[in-house]
Amino acid sequence: MSLVEIKGLSIRFGSLHNPIHAVRRVDLSIERGTIHGLIGESGCGKTISGMALLGLLPQSARVSADAFRFDGLNLLDVAKSLRGRRIAMISQDPAAALNPVLRIGRQMDDVLKSHSGLPRFQRRAAAEELLAATGLADPRRVLKSYAHQLSGGMQQRVVIAQALATGADFIIADEPTTALDVTVGAQVLALLKRLVQERALTVLMITHDMDVVAECCDSATVLYAGHTVEAGRTDELLAAPRHPYTQALLAALPDAVAKGERLASIEGHIPSPFAVIEGCPFAPRCASAMAVCRQAKPPERDDGNHCWTCHLEPHHG
């Protein structure tokens, strides 16, 4: 059984007469012990889907789903406290996630105090151990530091150590390398990969960058305008993308562009969250769109390795 099983997730804001469709029909299936990418352009509903898993959506959000399960439990019924014990989040801005006026030691201790049940003298050792596990060379010095005394990469490692300190086994990493330079970002991805193996974690990696998916994800789900358009193992998605949007995302990668092979960006914009979408959400931007694509919902297709929703017959393109 997958750790996360979401079918037909929809999240709306606004009034009944003028709804904002932030997420329209997201399917997401994440296997235990893997890193699963959630990829798409800005505004396609990645963060809000992660927030729904955490139970941290604003009160104004209206959520519905055919299935919304975490470890077999229906998350729509489960108390926030369970999610807090099992699910942690790492955001793109580690400086904002850390308290600027408290030493790291105090912040680690606060997390351990509320999650581990360890007595004080053991919490100190546990904090050092967790910081060391994230590759921080001098944990004692880090514990005495304030966030501003650490580099961005060190701050992100501290945030990861805090996530581990909660005892969570599922981590939602929302663009964790966007604010870091390329080398440090690659180190943070390598760290997450190592932690997944060593600590039997599962990670949902939210990103707009196919390179991040290629670098560290075992599998991925491609979102477009609040819809899941394709999902499968990373090697399959990269080698044989089926949905024209996935193909366009790959074609917009710097490597492909530099080789002069492909487009630099996908023309057009994602539909407004107020729009009523009758057919395929990508149809207005799709070079292969047919009349039916604007009129009818695309069928779900599955070739055994990955699944996608598109009117085009599989042999096409």
Residue closer to ligand ATP, measured from CB, 47 or 166:
47
Window of 46-54, 107-115, 157-165, 305-313 that interacts with ligand ATP by CB under 6 A: 46-54
Total of residues contacting ligand ATP (CB under 6 A): 14
- Residue 228 CB neighbours (<10 A): 29
Contacts of 220 by beta carbon, 8 Å cutoff, 6+ apart: 36, 37, 38, 39, 213, 231, 232, 234, 237
Q: With respect to ligand ATP, which residue has the nearer C-beta, 40 or 105?
A: 40
Q: Which two tokens stand for residue 267?
A: 């023309």
Task: Using alpha carbons, select from 211, 205, 217, 288 the residue that is nearest to residue 252.
Answer: 211
58 binds ligand ATP (CB under 6 A): yes
Taking the least distance from each CB to ligand ATP, the nearer of 43 and 84 is 43
DSSP 8-state code for residue 143? H
Considering only residues 250 to 279 of the shown chain, the ones binding ligand ATP according to CB under 6 A are 273
Which window, 36-44, 138-146, 212-220, 254-262, contacts ligand ATP (CB under 6 A)? 36-44
115's enclosing H/E stretch is: helix 104-115
- Chosen residue from 15, 18, 42, 59 binding ligand ATP by CB under 6 A: 42
Instruction: Give the pair of three-digit tokens for residue 208.
Output: 């707009």
- Residue 62 in the binding site for ligand ATP (CB under 6 A): no
DSSP assignment of 193-220 equals HHHHHHHT-EEEEEES-HHHHHHH-SEE
Under the criterion CB under 6 A, does residue 46 sit at the interface with ligand ATP? yes
Residues 285 to 304: which contact ligand ATP by CB under 6 A?
Answer: none
Rounded to whole angstroms, the Cα distance separating 273 from 299 reads 22
Nearest to 173 by CA among 154, 196, 150: 196
- 9 interacts with ligand ATP by CB under 6 A: no
Query: Does residue number 131 form part of the binding site for ligand ATP (CB under 6 A)?
Result: no
> Site residues (CB under 6 A) for ligand ATP?
13, 20, 22, 40, 42-48, 58, 208, 273
